[in-house]
Amino acid sequence: MADIEDRGPSDYAPRPSFGSAWTHGERDPAPVSMPLDRSIVIVDTETATLTGAPHLLEIGAVRVQDGEVIDQFETLVAPAVEIDEDATAIHGISNEDVRRAPMAGSALAKFSEWVGDDWMCAHNAGFDARVFGFEHARSEVAIPRSPFLCTLKLSRRHIPESPDHKLETLCQHLDLDDGVHHRALADAVWCWQVLEECALRADTSSASEFLAQCGTPVTIQGYIPSPARMKPRLRPLQDALNSKEEVRLLYGGGDSGVPSTIDVMPRLLYERHKKSYLEAECLRTGMLKTYLLDRIQKVMAPAV
């Protein structure tokens, strides 16, 4: 698997054009703005799935200081699941595009190191924090502790006349130049421009003031998935997860069906919407699957 330091984004997929905000990697002069008083990392993610637990597919970020982009981060990520066709229809990233991309754990380690102690910003920050939260839970990579500003919340406050507050709508409403949307680095640049507009309208350079306006602080730590609630008969799953051992599941069945026997390697146990799930690699197919704990009838040692 390629290392991020050794391979640029252009080696994974064609680099999109971002209009005058970002063209061929060269920064054009920023619009008239009210620079914030601290360095901010503006980030966007794309995912391989549209439903269920998120799987990271792309990270794009720019570091802004004194109203200027001073650095950028961009990588595709090879997810542990197939990319949904509906997701590809939105961002255009296919399974072939990520064939040589790094796995999530490697990408996250590099991104976390790159972010450092800087605050972050995203459009609908809870979404991106949740994506990172799930991937950090899977990989156990150290988590950035910095809070997120959220341009969705800020734009509702400072750009109230916009027809809605989707990022693409805001770009059209603010007459920002045409360009790529739904790719991570491009959307990070658009998010930066929306943040600058909010600061200009608010007549403030205080990042702390903006953070307060975003309400309850959003952090990656706050979006780590909750641990699964398990009946005693399923606790061997946690033991197998901790020891990285394979198990055999008696799964499904119920009143009218015959349960399936599935050999898996547990990867993550979590709760979502008051239901508990197991993410595990199916040893027969090699694919990551999600299993509802309520449908697991028995956990056994795998056949020798």
pLDDT at 4: 42
Mean pLDDT value across the chain:
88
Q: What is the dihedral angle through the alpha carbons of 97, 108, 80, 82, rounded to the nearest 10 degrees?
A: -40
Find residue 42's DSSP bridge partners.
62, 121
Local confidence band at 177 (pLDDT 50, 70, 90 cut-offs): confident
- How wide is the angle at C-alpha 271 spanned by C-alphas 268 and 275, nearest 5°? 125
**pLDDT tens figures, 230-272:** 999 999 999 999 999 999 999 997 666 789 999 999 999 999 9
Single-letter residue type at 255: D
**pLDDT tens figures, 120-150:** 999 999 999 999 999 999 998 988 899 999 9
Q: What is the DSSP string of 36-93?
A: -SS-EEEEEEEES-SSSS--EEEEEEEEEETTEEEEEEEEE-B-SSPPPHHHHHHH--
pLDDT at 150: 98
Count the residues in the chain. Answer: 304
CB 184 within 8 A of CB 60: yes
* pLDDT (average), residues 169-184: 89
Q: What CA–CA distance (Å, rounded) separates 121 from 200?
A: 16
List, in order, residues 6 or more apart from 284 with CB less than 8 Å away. Answer: 262, 263
List, in order, residues 6 or more apart from 37 with CB less than 8 Å away. Answer: 205, 206, 207
Local confidence band at 304 (pLDDT 50, 70, 90 cut-offs): low
**Other CB atoms within 10 A of residue 20 CB:** 13
**pLDDT tens figures, 147-170:** 999 999 999 999 999 999 999 999
pLDDT at 140: 86
**How is the beta sheet containing 148-150 ordered, strand by strand?**
68-76, 56-65, 40-47, 119-122, 148-150
pLDDT at 121: 98
* pLDDT (average), residues 41-46: 98
List, in order, residues 6 or more apart from 14 with CB less than 8 Å away. Answer: none
Q: What CA–CA distance (Å, rounded) separates 93 from 74?
A: 14
Please give the domain boundaries of the chain with CATH numbers for all domains: 4-223 (3.30.420.10), 232-300 (2.30.30)
Q: Which residue has the tokens 């929306």?
A: 194
Q: Which among 132, 74, 144 is positioned nearest to 105, based on CA atoms?
A: 132
pLDDT at 211: 97
Kindly report the pTM of this predicted structure: 0.87
